[in-house]
Structure 1
Amino acid sequence: MENREDLKSMQGLLPVVERGGSLFWPSRAVEALKFLSLGPHQSKVSSGEALFAAISDIRTSLSLHRPLPPSVSEGYALYFDELISRAEAASCFGEVVPELAGLLLRLPSLLETHYRNADTLLPGVETGLRFLGSQEPGIVFLSQELIAALLACAFFCLFPENERGAKYLPLINFDHLFESLYENYTEAQEHKIKCITHYFERISSCMPTGYVSFERKVLPLEKQLLNVSYPNAEFWSKSGIPLCPFEVHGSGFIEDQSKGALEVDFANKFLGGGALNRGCVQEEIRFMINPELIVGMLFLPCMEDNVAIEIVGAERFSDYTGYASSFRFSGDHVDKMKVDSFRRRKTRIIAIDALCSPGMRQYKLNYLRRETNKAFCGFYDQSKCNLYERLFHNQGTELEGSKFKHDYNASNTVFKSNHLLDESCSTSVEIEMREEECIDQLVGVPEEQASSINDEDKIGIATGNWGCGAFGGDPEVKSIIQWLAASQALRPFILYFTFGIESLQNLERVSHWILSHGWTVGELWNMLVEYSNQRYNKETNLGFFKWLLPSLNAYELNMSGVPDVP
């Protein structure tokens, strides 16, 4: 079997055994899974209590000796024996559970096929399932069928946990999901599990055939050749990059945007946050309606300040209403997102973690820099690293207006054709065509045609109140920080969903005024730093928007066609 090193890095994280180049379940586990796959008439598994007993037997066969708390058993019994209808339970035990057992029996062969083909998916780029360390950039491609098998492992609580703490990995088994249901019952927790069981119903009746990629993006802390490094405050202060268009949405949800944008996951530093526990806010909800995201928790450890995680292709299976305690599963969702040449859905999600409970320290320069760099790490496109290097370091402080656009288009055309011949700076596959097709189309393209070609991968940002709410960030400051990062990353636009938060009622007017005056990233950054310094030193208690606008010429503001902000 190829990719032995990749598999070795997963030692202690997968439930299957590797020996002599082959993967397999221990014989006792095979017997238990085969028995379960025969259905309730043979296995007698027709209740939550019996299901948990079967799970315990399989765990014992895998030498997972830590007994699960009694409340986990009670959680499975509560959900399957009391909270869902008898018809739903009959379908689950008669069809879904046997299908999942059969899927688990295929897990060793699915993994072997995965490792055998991992080197052929993207020639020259490692894509196999492996542990990606905290400062290790890389990408993993998984088929949706393999993801389904891995999630079945989590549902049956079969992943070993001894190595996870030492590797700073979140827990991935579903025991705490059911434990929390029993110990602290809420309807929201019940409906989180409904999303998960609905996913299993869907894949049991029709297995999806696409792929999902999980990419760990790292901004090197030290300057490296052919790499965008972790920016310092001077970098932001002197940036001459124009601000990108800013579109404010007072209603709607990030996951429903239709412009093909990169969608921000307001992440915990441990991917998934409380998705498999009691959490039920933005990140956790996204992991419930797109359960394939959960698999990233298997091999991606906590994010440091210079790290982000980009996931492309996760399918949505559920609709929902509400938020936090009012969250409810509201039915099946048929994902109509188109697929790319790698058979991934063009759903792009970027996980970035904000400062938690930052209080007044969020206005200090080093924390402003931390948050802006974190967003930039998530928003920048690694396939454009040569272009970034040219524009940011050689010309970025001098470019203005049309000169920037001309140089961007010209450099991007040259960059794309050259980059495909030299992959030394990136593993990113955020391109819509395979390498040969790109070379054929881009080599020798005149500058004036560059922008039309580049339209295909001008992917904007869809975001909202990142790091606010439970994390306690300043919504006005966070909105500006994300705008700065998206603009510096050469994103063509930012869609900002305010979720009706009162402090952002003037965001559209403020962004319109700033854009009408042609501010650069550096100019807006410097204003944000000045405001934050005053706020930290208690020289003002105004929000950023009200602090900014009174210092502007009211007549000029009205001439721009934007009403005064009260």
Structure 2
Amino acid sequence: MALVMLPCDMPWWPTLQRHLTQVAASTTTKQLIESMQKIHNMCNVGLDPDESEVPDTEVFVGLEKYLEEEMAVEEKEKFFSFTLPSVAHRAIDLKRIRPPNGLLFSLQQQSEKMELDREFVASLIANCFFSTFPKRTAKTHPTLQDFNFTNFFRHLDLKHQKCKLLSLLDYFNHLEKCSPTQKIVLTRQVMSGSQWLTLDDWLHCKLPLCPLLIKRQGSIFNIGSDHIVICSSSARIGGDILSNGCSMECIQMITCPEMLAILLCVEALEDNEVMSISGVLQVSKIIDPKGNPTFEKLSHPLLLTVCCMDAENYSSLPLLQYQQDSFLRELNKALLGFRQKPDQQNALPRRLSPIGESFSSTPEKDTVAPTIRSAPKHLQVRRKFIVLGSSGECLPITRNQSSYSSCQSTSSPELEFYSADSSFEDESEERKNRRYSCQLDKEERRIVFADRLKEAMDRAEEASSESADTDFRLMGRDGSCGFVLEGSSLKDDDSHDSRKKRLYQSPSSKYSFTTDYSSELEIVYEQLGKWLDEDDTLPPGAETLEMREKAVVQFAGNLLKRTLSESFVGIPLGEEELPEKSVKVAARSLSLELARHKNKLAAQLVSVVLNQKDGVMPVATYNWGCSSRCGEPQLKLFVQWLASSVALLPHLVYFTAANPSLNMVDTVCRVLLDRQWSVGELVSAILKYNESMFVTPPPPGVAPSLFEQIIGMDEKAPQTNLLCTEL
């Protein structure tokens, strides 16, 4: 496991304690600046050999000027007599109150939860204020933020920066008066490959849209503690908060200073990750940070739950947000942040060090831009997979490969494509050998192939020995060549044992199925329906009927475990748990469920409903990733509305921040509710709009907006063809 190096673990800790004691005893600005400069010179050591080792003597010039020229006399007196000693003593207490096992990093692709004492978090922030942590840079720590106020004090000439400083100082003042006992919980949520939803899954979702509450006035900072608050963060959470940042992310974190602990121990988020932190104390508000910022204390500080989600940055090329992979990435990111369920431990191996790893899975935009308008229509999707930088895992966009993918493919020589006039009999011996060697290149594949071949030969031998009247009915199963042996009639001279043998011969063929969920479940439902509709004319105690009922229960259990979501694994459905008379009732209920849940998304939703606890909190959000990241506000609103509907939230509160492009949102909501569109129908309509924007972008001001296009659509949502190309 990877431990965070704390200042109290450094060899200069005793010297640092003496300097902090001098800070606590400071009564003038000059004494304070001298002690802080000594701390900075001693602790601000980086790993980059190219950096200059000459001490920077102008780090605290901004703080000195602010204390001497701009801070009121009463505030200055309180600062030196009360606030400063409090912060210094909390920094000194770090070694005493740190966890026995130290502080662990939250690593990429590791779904984990950390509980931290509030006093320990306050001590970490106090050390951050005095810049006692080793220096980090994007070169030496590409997935981590620097956790020092080194650059913060350089920008104290800005109004919003002064408000940020006042918010931090007010936090320490409040802790001296009243410190909540509730622990702070940091949770890294990861959507594994098996949980990843493709566009096919979203398109087939029949869930209704959840209630949407629009707030045109007010701020998300006024929402209170009964909602989960969304923070539109950067991948490296915090952004420029410890510099001169004034984004919503920076303001949210500085008004809840305990969120700063994320910068110390949390690696950058990837496309399938979000970070939530609960129990953080909001002590203040900063109003209009980009205009005329004002600082306001809260008379009653709140304990909030905040979810940090990073929207993709489209500032270099806004057109990329209309791609299918970009749209899918935002849908799954929002769904992961909104969903409230027990954490699932990821099976990926734990990495030992967070240093030197790539945190961005987004490809370079420059390689895409020249080809967007000129590429053929069926090739105008950037990639078929969303590739994670740390693990290399490929998250698919669609479940099935596109029929166009072979046209321009240059990916792998092992993939062979044949046209309609090709003949397998004319294959060269070299091509045959290469094709079969690719199919059997691993020992596991060879073993599976041998087992299946042996099983097929045994079935063929048994079939040939059966009566000539036996009917072989081929079952269409999307590429499977398996069949079910069913006797059209039983001879009168057949013994009871032979009937039993025919009932159970070839179970691997009769009860096996592929992973094509939508088509396979229809076949399973049809087969179960036939069993249930048969006339039970046999005596109640007949052994054949008993065996058939056992087969139904066994089949149902295997079906839930193998065809539906992995969340069902471990749920027993053995006959001992079902009363003898309720076997058919259970099977019929199962068949009805299978008829409704015809894809992986619905199966996952069932598991969520089964595992969700009472009291699911609603979510408060705003124009996520729409300002500096150039996201389209209308598209982002729909993304979050769809995600909240799939996450089964009671409602979603959306703050528009008076954005003019969202003036029609009330009309759009009313139209969609009148049409009773499902999640899948709205996704289909958005994909239609995105395709028109990405393939043939209209001149600005000519094409209708997303809201206008959806209002003008027919009541039935359009069907969308998913287009993908090779990686």
Aligned-partner SS, 2:342: helix
Counterpart amino acid of 1:415? N
Identity of aligned residues (%): 25
Give the alignment partner of residue 9 of structure 1, picking from 3, 26, 45.
3
Aligned-partner SS, 2:23: helix
Listed as ranges, the matches of 1:403-418 within 5 Å are 415=611
RMSD: 3.1
Distance 1:462 1:168 in 2: 28
Q: Is the CA contact 1:384–1:415 (under 8 Å) kept in the aligned structure 2?
A: no
Q: Is the CA contact 2:43–2:133 (under 8 Å) kept in the aligned structure 1?
A: no
Q: Which residue of 1 aligns with 2:236?
A: 270
Distance 1:63 1:480 in 2: 45
Q: Which residue of 2 aligns with 1:174?
A: 149
State the shift of 1:258 in Å: 4.3
Q: Which residue of 1 aligns with 2:108?
A: 134
State the shift of 1:167 in Å: 5.1
| CA shift digits 1:194-240 (9 cap, x unpaired) | 111222222244444332111111112x32xxxx2x22211111122
Q: Is the CA contact 2:623–2:637 (under 8 Å) kept in the aligned structure 1?
A: yes
| CA shift digits 1:416-437 (9 cap, x unpaired) | 6xxxxxxxxxxxxxxxxxxxxx
- Closer/same/farther in 2, CA of residues 218 and 414 from structure 1, 3 Å limit: closer
Unaligned residue ranges in structure 2 (runs of 5+): 47-52, 346-559, 570-589, 717-727
Q: Is the CA contact 1:375–1:482 (under 8 Å) kept in the aligned structure 2?
A: yes
Counterpart amino acid of 2:263? M
State the shift of 1:171 in Å: 1.5
Q: Which residue of 1 aligns with 2:312?
A: 355
Q: Is the CA contact 1:240–1:398 (under 8 Å) kept in the aligned structure 2?
A: no
Q: Which residue of 2 aligns with 1:467?
A: 625
What is the TM-score with the length of structure 1 in the denominator?
Answer: 0.75
Q: Which residue of 1 aligns with 2:129?
A: 155
Aligned-partner SS, 1:326: coil
Q: Which residue of 2 aligns with 1:46?
A: 28
Distance 1:389 1:512 in 2: 34
Q: Which deviates more from structure 2 when the two are superposed, residues 378-387 or residues 524-533?
A: 378-387
What is the TM-score with the length of structure 2 in the denominator?
Answer: 0.59
Q: Tell me whether 1:398 sits opposite 2:590 in the alignment.
A: no
Give the alignment partner of residue 288 of structure 1, picking from 238, 244, 254.
254
Q: Is the CA contact 1:239–1:397 (under 8 Å) kept in the aligned structure 2?
A: no
Distance 2:667 2:597 in 1: 26
Q: Which residue of 2 aligns with 1:547?
A: 709
| CA shift digits 1:507-530 (9 cap, x unpaired) | 122122212332221111111000
- Closer/same/farther in 2, CA of residues 174 and 368 from structure 1, 3 Å limit: same
Distance 2:674 2:567 in 1: 23
Q: Which residue of 2 aligns with 1:558?
A: none
Q: Tell me whether 1:144 sits opposite 2:126 in the alignment.
A: no
State the shift of 1:304 in Å: 1.2
Q: Tell me whether 1:105 sits opposite 2:80 in the alignment.
A: no
Distance 1:162 1:270 in 2: 13
Counterpart amino acid of 2:77? A
Aligned-partner SS, 1:382: coil
- Closer/same/farther in 2, CA of residues 352 and 553 from structure 1, 3 Å limit: closer
Give the alignment partner of residue 538 of structure 1, picking from 692, 697, 703.
697
Aligned-partner SS, 1:470: coil
- Closer/same/farther in 2, CA of residues 261 and 331 from structure 1, 3 Å limit: closer
Give the alignment partner of residue 81 of structure 1, picking from 68, 71, 74.
68
Distance 1:391 1:17 in 2: 42
| Greater Rg over alpha carbons, structure | 2
Listed as ranges, the matches of 1:296-445 within 5 Å are 296-335=262-301, 337=302, 345=303, 347-356=304-313, 357=315, 358-383=317-342, 389=565, 398=596, 415=611
Unaligned residue ranges in structure 1 (runs of 5+): 19-23, 117-127, 338-344, 417-453, 555-566
Distance 1:209 1:319 in 2: 23
- Closer/same/farther in 2, CA of residues 28 and 270 from structure 1, 3 Å limit: same
Q: Is the CA contact 2:341–2:611 (under 8 Å) kept in the aligned structure 1?
A: no
Structure with more contact order per residue of length (Cα contacts < 8 Å, sep ≥ 6):
2
Counterpart amino acid of 2:117? S
Q: Is the CA contact 1:280–1:325 (under 8 Å) kept in the aligned structure 2?
A: no
Aligned-partner SS, 1:316: strand
State the shift of 1:50 in Å: 2.8
State the shift of 1:412 in Å: 6.6
Q: Is the CA contact 2:671–2:711 (under 8 Å) kept in the aligned structure 1?
A: no
Distance 2:307 2:594 in 1: 25
Q: Is the CA contact 1:75–1:180 (under 8 Å) kept in the aligned structure 2?
A: yes
Q: Which residue of 2 aligns with 1:233?
A: 199
Task: Looking at secondary structure, tell me which structure has more helix per residue.
Answer: 1
Counterpart amino acid of 1:326? N
Aligned-partner SS, 2:628: helix
- Closer/same/farther in 2, CA of residues 381 and 455 from structure 1, 3 Å limit: closer
- Closer/same/farther in 2, CA of residues 129 and 369 from structure 1, 3 Å limit: same
State the shift of 1:293 in Å: 0.7
Counterpart amino acid of 1:474? E
